[in-house]
């Protein structure tokens, strides 16, 4: 902060409490506590731009953790209000960038994050969010430069390490992703998402044992995290533990019944243990789901899932098409 953002001492205390909660939030309960803290700050000082920006980011975090996109509307309104109060509030630009990114307005997200980093060059939030915006805009190299800059500014902040590792996974720099993700779990042992992505990183480099350990830790924190369930099942599958893989993929498919890849994976595991008829049913479900998505919009991931599953069903012409 370049100057006191409020004259109300208790409002500032509430704001700082909200920031601390938001900084380590990995679940809707903590998001709600952050919302309450920022709202208390606003109730005490209705001109507190930074509190509105914090409230916006807490709403955005709620949307991320619940999957309820209606929170993005509230996040956008709070961020816009913060900007209207103080056009030089860097956290308002950070909040606007996060919302724009999730709404698919990639160029807006990049420009808003750049404005935040221009307003306060040493703000690790601005550099991290700029990195995420660039990542969504498929500017992977530039994104990793910004995500690395965020880590350089505050290396002991778990969220910075987490997103650097996640960005490296997106860029298929899998071995390099391990160190920052491991650092994130060291700094914040209950950071469930970091354990999930660490499990993915180990999976991609072929370390089944460490991948299983990381995914298992994630599941201790959240037994119904479908990504962690799936990652653990993949590790079991490649480690030759097919019965365990069947159990895991079956649970992952039940947690995400509308996701084609979950059913394709289940088909692979069932096929490996000789349950051919059930495998065919899983592959057929994968084809149906992937094809439905392809009718809406073509993408290579669903096309690949449909092709492989068609091939497993013996439909060569459909698979080639």
Q: pLDDT tens-digit profile of 126-182?
A: 999 999 999 999 999 999 999 999 999 999 999 999 999 999 999 999 999 999 999
241: three-class secondary structure by DSSP = coil
Structure confidence by residue, pLDDT tens digits, 65-91:
999 999 999 999 999 999 999 999 999
Sequential DSSP letters for 5-74: S-S-HHHHHHHHHHHHHHHT--SHHHHHHHHHHHHHHHHH-TT-HHHHHHHHHHHHHHHHHH--THHHHH
Q: What is the mean pLDDT of residues 3-26?
A: 94
- What sign has the CA pseudo-torsion 113, 115, 117, 119? negative
Rounded CA separation 163/151 (Å): 9
**Residue 3 has what DSSP assignment?**
S
pTM of the model: 0.90
Question: Which residues, 6 or more positions from 146, have their beta carbon under 8 angstroms from its beta carbon?
Answer: 127, 128, 130, 131, 134
Supply the angle between the helices 242-255 and 260-272 in degrees, to the nearest 10.
160
Using only C-alpha atoms, what is the Rg of the chain?
Answer: 22
Q: What is the mean pLDDT of residues 185-207?
A: 97
Residue with tokens 């997200």: 109
Residue 241: the pLDDT is 97
Residue 1: the pLDDT is 65
How buried is residue 138: exposed, middle or buried, by Cβ count under 10 Å (0-12/13-18/19+)? exposed
**Residue 314 has what DSSP assignment?**
T
Q: Could you tell me what percentage of the chain is helix, strand and coil, using 3-state DSSP and rounding each to the nearest 5?
A: 80, 0, 20
Residue 3: the pLDDT is 80
Kindly tell me if the per-residue pLDDT of 302 is higher than 80: yes
Position with higher pLDDT, 300 vs 4: 300
């Amino acid at each position: 902060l370049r100057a006191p953002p409020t004259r109300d001492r208790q409002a500032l205390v509430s704001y700082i409490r909200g920031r601390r909660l938001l900084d380590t939030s990995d679940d809707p309960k903590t998001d709600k506590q952050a919302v309450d803290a920022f709202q208390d700050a606003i109730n005490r000082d209705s001109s507190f731009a930074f509190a509105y920006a914090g409230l916006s980011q807490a709403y955005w975090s709620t949307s991320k953790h619940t999957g309820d996109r209606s929170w993005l509307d509230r996040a956008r309104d709070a961020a816009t209000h913060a900007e209207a109060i103080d056009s030089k509030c860097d956290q308002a630009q950070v909040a606007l960038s996060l919302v724009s990114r999730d709404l698919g307005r990639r160029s807006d997200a990049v420009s808003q994050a750049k404005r935040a980093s221009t307003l306060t060059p040493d703000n690790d939030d601005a550099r991290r969010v700029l990195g995420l915006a660039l990542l969504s805009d498929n500017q992977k190299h530039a994104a990793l430069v910004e995500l690395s800059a965020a880590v350089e500014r505050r290396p002991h902040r778990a969220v910075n390490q987490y997103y650097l590792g996640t960005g490296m996974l997106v860029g298929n720099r899998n071995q390099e992703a391990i160190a920052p993700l491991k650092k994130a779990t060291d700094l914040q042992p209950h950071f469930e998402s970091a354990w999930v992505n660490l499990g993915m990183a180990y999976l991609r480099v072929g370390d089944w044992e460490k991948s299983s350990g990381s995914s298992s830790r994630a599941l201790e924190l959240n037994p119904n995290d479908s990504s962690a369930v799936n990652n653990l099942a993949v590790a079991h599958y490649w480690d030759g533990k097919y019965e365990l893989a069947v159990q895991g993929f079956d649970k992952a498919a039940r947690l995400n019944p509308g996701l084609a890849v979950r059913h394709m994976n289940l088909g692979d595991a069932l096929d490996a243990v000789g349950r051919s008829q059930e495998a065919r049913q899983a592959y057929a479900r994968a084809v149906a789901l992937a094809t439905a998505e392809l009718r809406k919009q073509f993408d290579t991931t669903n096309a690949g899932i449909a092709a492989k599953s068609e091939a497993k069903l013996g439909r060569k012409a459909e698979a080639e098409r």
